Amino acid sequence: MALIIIQILAILGFLLSFYALYIEKKYEKSKKYKSLCDISEKVSCTKAFSSKYGKLFGLSNSVYGMIFYLVILLLSFYNITYIFYLSMLAVIGSVYLAYVLYFKLNNFCLVCSGIYLVNIILLIFSYLEVY
């Protein structure tokens, strides 16, 4: 059962990351673009994605997320142990990005928070599957 949940989480994480990339690209095209998750000045996905923390080595965090969740989905057919260790890294990254989002940017991003939640649940279920 945990394995199926891990696969569902990988797909959900991929879709959230893809949507984040979509928002980012639409905003780059037109600075007037307002996504569904841009509710107010303090609740804005676009603000998070367009900040200096939205990229690592010039590549969008969303792209890294999409790659991560594809790897998780592929590993779910072969080796769950690696998923547990990768999930630990993802949660550490999520804690850092959540700190930046909530305390440095003073913002709340619905998509980002969804991804953080997916990573935490992924860690829990990969732990249950391994141990």
Domain coordinates in residue numbering, the chain: 2-29+43-130
Residue for token pair 């709340």: 108
SS (HEC) of 85-98? HHHHHHHHHHHHHH
Q: pLDDT tens-digit profile of 26-79?
A: 888 888 888 888 999 899 999 999 899 999 998 999 999 999 999 999 999 998
Give the pLDDT score at 34: 83
Give the pLDDT score at 90: 98
Residue for token pair 């547990």: 84
In this prediction the pTM is: 0.94
Give the pLDDT score at 45: 92
What is the second-level CATH architecture of the domain 2-29+43-130?
Answer: Up-down Bundle (1.20)
Nearest Cα residue to 26 out of 53, 57, 62: 62
Give the pLDDT score at 33: 83
**Residue 89 C-beta-side C-alpha neighbours within 13 Å:** 9
- Please give the single-letter amino acid code of residue 93: G
